[in-house]
Amino acid sequence: MNMAIEEKGLAVNRSYKDTLFRRLFGDETCKGNAMSLYNALGGSCDDPADLTFTTIEGVIYMGRKNDVSFLVDGELILWEHQSSVNPNMPLRGLIHLAQLYNKHLDLYGLSVYSSRRLTLPSPRYYVFYAGPAEVEDRFELRLSELFADGANNSCAELVATVININEGHSPEVLEACETLAGYAHFVSLARTYSRTYARSEAVDLAVRQCIREGVLTDFFTENRAEVIDLFLTEWDEEKYRDLLRREAEEDGYAAGEAEGRKEGRKEGRKEGRKEGRKEGRDEVRNEFLLKAVHQVREGRLALEDATNIFGFSQKEILALLEG
């Protein structure tokens, strides 16, 4: 954590491990924000009390919870946010929805073994994209696109509707939900400032500018330190990990290809790719382990949280901490 922030007397709740998006739209104290976004996406709700949050509290996928989910007006709403374009989101949605329906059955005392037909809430799955890549305002990702034979003979389908919430995109949604527009503006500012300043300073400057401009003023004023901590953790856990893994895999594959071509034999190419991938995996694993150790040492993550997020054993992390 940035020492300058701590010296200013801003207490940070280090046990809070949610993302900023979930804090804004998935917290019981911010149901009005969730209702506003739900309505901006075509829903019709005029009382936040009608929303029942169903967000899964346990870690179930890649060290992360689902971002926001709730029941309203016979629908099961699932929202995720991403800082990179991820074609596998339909699979992630399938995993989350299966868990959510299981939770729904328990909540209402229902059983899949009942002889009577069950009535289930209809799912709606949205992914909000706020990353640097240029993508269209709205597009769909389908589970069938991940199948080896495409949609042929498939008995399953799941559609993730991706909405680009970067500033200048999806105006009908951002104009209808002030909180989402404020979040998008903050992300844009933080990204811009990060080109010049260290990440902690960039986020702090983005918060200050939002307050000056009247963007989510009350929220940022009351939760400034928490916002900084949440967003830094969000960057570390998503952007850093995803980009580093992808780059290392690509570098390893390229190294293997190059070695294979140099040998000039089919077996050489095969062995080169295998060795290149192994080197890439080892490199990224070491990078992740050092990052986990760094966050525990700084007090930004508890040891147990670091093991869940980065996938290392406590023994591995402690060995470097104590070394």
* Cβ neighbour number for residue 35 with a 10 Å cutoff: 22
Q: Pick the last residue of a domain from 222, 247, 280.
A: 222
227 within some domain: no
Say how far apart CA 258 and CA 260 lie, in whole Å: 5
Same domain, yes or no: 150 and 178 = yes
Say how far apart CA 300 and CA 224 lie, in whole Å: 16
Output the six-digit token pair for 237.
């856990």
Quote the number of domains for the chain.
2
Say how far apart CA 305 and CA 291 lie, in whole Å: 13
Same domain, yes or no: 135 and 242 = no
In our burial notation (b when 16+ CB lie closer than 10 A, e otherwise), range 266-281 reads eeebeebbeebbeebe
Same domain, yes or no: 161 and 141 = yes
For residue 275, report the phi and psi dihedrals to the nearest 5 degrees.
-65, -40
216 within some domain: yes
In our burial notation (b when 16+ CB lie closer than 10 A, e otherwise), range 172-194 reads ebbebbebbbbbbbbbbbbbebb
Cite the DSSP H helix spans in 177-302: 178-193, 199-213, 217-222, 224-234, 241-263, 266-298
Same domain, yes or no: 16 and 137 = yes
Same domain, yes or no: 37 and 107 = yes
pLDDT per residue rounded down to tens, the chain (323 residues): 333 333 333 333 333 346 789 889 998 999 999 999 999 999 999 999 999 998 776 544 344 456 899 999 999 999 998 888 888 899 999 999 998 999 899 888 999 999 999 999 999 999 999 988 889 999 999 999 898 876 667 788 999 999 999 989 999 999 999 999 999 999 999 989 988 988 888 899 999 999 999 999 999 999 888 888 877 766 665 555 455 455 555 655 555 555 555 555 555 555 655 565 556 556 667 777 887 788 788 776 778 767 766 667 888 888 888 87
Q: Are 81 and 21 in contact (CB under 8 A)?
A: yes
In our burial notation (b when 16+ CB lie closer than 10 A, e otherwise), range 154-171 reads eeeebebebbbbbeebbe
Q: Are 131 and 82 in contact (CB under 8 A)?
A: yes
Same domain, yes or no: 211 and 121 = yes
Q: Are 272 and 256 in contact (CB under 8 A)?
A: yes
Q: Pick the last residue of a domain from 222, 254, 276.
A: 222
Alpha-carbon distances of 99 from 25, 36, 198, rounded to whole Å: 20, 25, 38
CA 22 to chain CA centroid, nearest Å: 9
228 within some domain: no
Same domain, yes or no: 273 and 190 = no
Complete DSSP assignment for 121-137: PEEEEEEEE-SSS---S
Same domain, yes or no: 84 and 215 = yes
> Using CA of residue 208, residue 211, residue 215, residue 220, what is the dihedral sign?
positive
Q: Which domain holds residue 89?
A: 3-222
Q: Pick the last residue of a domain from 222, 241, 263.
A: 222
pTM: 0.69
Q: Are 204 and 2 in contact (CB under 8 A)?
A: yes
Same domain, yes or no: 193 and 295 = no
Same domain, yes or no: 164 and 295 = no
Say how far apart CA 141 and CA 87 lie, in whole Å: 7
Predicted local distance difference test score (pLDDT) of residue 57? 62
Same domain, yes or no: 288 and 264 = yes
Predicted local distance difference test score (pLDDT) of residue 75? 95
Alpha-carbon distances of 286 from 63, 80, 265, 273, 282, rounded to whole Å: 18, 28, 31, 20, 6
Same domain, yes or no: 9 and 152 = yes
